Amino acid sequence: MTISAISFDGDMTLWDFQKVMRHSLNKALVELRRLVPSQRAQDLSVEEMITIRNQVEEEVKGEVWNHEEIRLLAFERTLESAACPDRELAAYLNGLYLRHRFEDAELYPDVEPTLDQLAAHFKLGLLSNGNSYPERCGLEGRFAFVVFSQDVRIKKPDRRIFEITAQRAGCPMEELLHVGDSLENDVAGARDAGARTVWLNREGLANDTGIRSDHEIGSLSELPRILGV
């Protein structure tokens, strides 16, 4: 296959989003419990905070795209559920969460060596439904093009976000290779748009979805071999 550009998903492809998200929420929860001594606040859990955030995201879907704004609304809702509505406290907790969310994020160990090896041969980019911009996670200057759903207001697997990505990469769709961990968002979305696909299956999960990628890998370190570099 002729490939001139490679787009990478972010969360769970380049870094462990679930790990850093839960870690950061726990930091905020510890502070919330310290500042709000009610029993309801003490009983709050990270899982409940995740549920509240997902509910808020669903409620504002199509209206609020910025993830930091959604997280702030979620903290406001969390404090309301703890019988302590306080917008200033919500903003403080949101800032604490975001600081840990970005400062404590760790790249998977196969990321930088793989990017180093591929950079001499392909135009590399980032395509994400999240909000971890390269400069926030130690990847500043690594990508020739960057596309975030909250900026273009289109989310994977919508084919239009892959069309925007190919346009910014300056290549025909058939010369774009997209790499990601989600069969639905990354593989099916890119495939349906006409791009080539690689499913990053770090956990060795079974695929019973019927969604098929051009290649399946367990580590990004396998990419150079697939691409012949």
What average pLDDT score do residues 81-97 get?
A: 96
Q: Which CATH number fits domain 5-15+107-227: 2.60.40.2140, 3.40.50.1000, 3.40.50.10190, 3.40.50.720?
A: 3.40.50.1000
* The pLDDT of residue 43 is above 90: yes
Q: What is the pLDDT of residue 37?
A: 86
Contact between 27 and 49 (Cβ < 8 Å): no
* The pLDDT of residue 78 is above 80: yes
What average pLDDT score do residues 16-23 get?
A: 96
Would you list the DSSP string of 42-84? Answer: HH--HHHHHHHHHHHHHHTTTT---HHHHHHHHHHHHHHHTT-
pTM: 0.94
Model pLDDT for residues 146-159, shown as the tens digit of each residue: 999 999 999 999 99
Q: What is the pLDDT of residue 19?
A: 96
Q: List, in sequence order, every residue forming a beta bridge with 199; answer none if it has no partner.
A: 180, 216
Q: Is the dihedral of CA 154, 168, 113, 105 positive or negative?
A: negative
How much of the chain exceeds pLDDT 70, in percent?
100
Q: What is the pLDDT of residue 48?
A: 97
Q: List, in sequence order, every residue forming a beta bridge with 215; answer none if it has no partner.
A: 198
* The pLDDT of residue 49 is above 80: yes
Nearest residue to 211 via CA among 192, 228, 227: 192
Q: What is the pLDDT of residue 97?
A: 98
Residue 125's pLDDT band (cuts 50, 70, 90): very high
What average pLDDT score do residues 184-207 get?
A: 97
What average pLDDT score do residues 59-79 get?
A: 97
Q: What is the pLDDT of residue 141?
A: 95
* The pLDDT of residue 178 is above 80: yes
Distance from C-alpha of 213 to C-alpha of 150, rounded to nearest angstrom: 26
| Domain extents in the chain | 5-15+107-227, 17-103
Model pLDDT for residues 154-176, shown as the tens digit of each residue: 999 999 999 999 999 999 999 99
